[in-house]
Amino acid sequence: MIRLAIVDDDALIRESLEILLGAQEDLEVIGVASDGLEAIEIAKRGVDVMLLDLRMPVMSGMEALPELCERTKVLVLSTFDEAEGILEALRRGAMGYLLKSTPPAGIAQAVRMAHAGQSTFDEAAMEVLRHSVPKSSVSRQVELTPREEEVVKLVAKGMSNRQIAEALFLTEGTVKNYISSILEKAELSHRTQIAVAFLKGEIKL
């Protein structure tokens, strides 16, 4: 059972998600909060994954992110799709970024992916990154195999390990092994950074 927390200052969104996600057999909503301070207190109780809004009173989700990410896996759930906000949330440790327009089934799947250590993006958020991320003046050639290069490109499109496996006719385990190899070669810590580094032009294929 995945222990889930929901943090949003909009009571309607908070309560709706609690009902819809709590109805999933493998998800248990163990707490809800309306600001970053409350989120930190909930995280201390032992949370597997937290859905976090960024703009809230008292303490924003963005302010709370660094401490929260030390305790749990955080998925941002926001109405805002500005590239700067998405990148800053990732820099502060978020595992993924979803828009509140994402269907409940998509949010539930993203929670499962985060619990399994996979980052995930809403397609709209990924599209914003693709078109808005400023190119870095610093680039480095990472020695990747042709298959690893294919995986990088698909990760940058926001595809999950399962989707990549289906697209390349591989097993999910093989995709995980490729991603681990890419992370090591590129000196990165999680797959979200692969997408951002590629989109910024920091990794040249």
Per-residue pLDDT reduced to its tens digit, 44-68: 989 999 999 998 988 999 999 999 9
Least Cα distance to 116 among 175, 43, 66, 54 occurs for 175
Taking 3-state DSSP, the helix, strand and coil percentages for the chain, each rounded to the nearest 5, stand at 50, 15, 30
Q: Give the predicted TM-score (pTM) of the model.
A: 0.72
Q: Regarding the domain delimited by 2-131, which CATH topology (the fold level of the hierarchy) does it fall under?
A: Rossmann fold (3.40.50)
Whether domain 134-204 has CATH 1.10.10.10? yes
Looking at residues 32-53, what average pLDDT do you find? 94
Q: Which helix (H) or strand (E) holds 73?
A: strand 73-78
Pick 195 or 53 by higher pLDDT: 53
Quickly list H helices, 80-145: 83-91, 104-115, 123-132
Domain boundaries, the chain: 2-131, 134-204
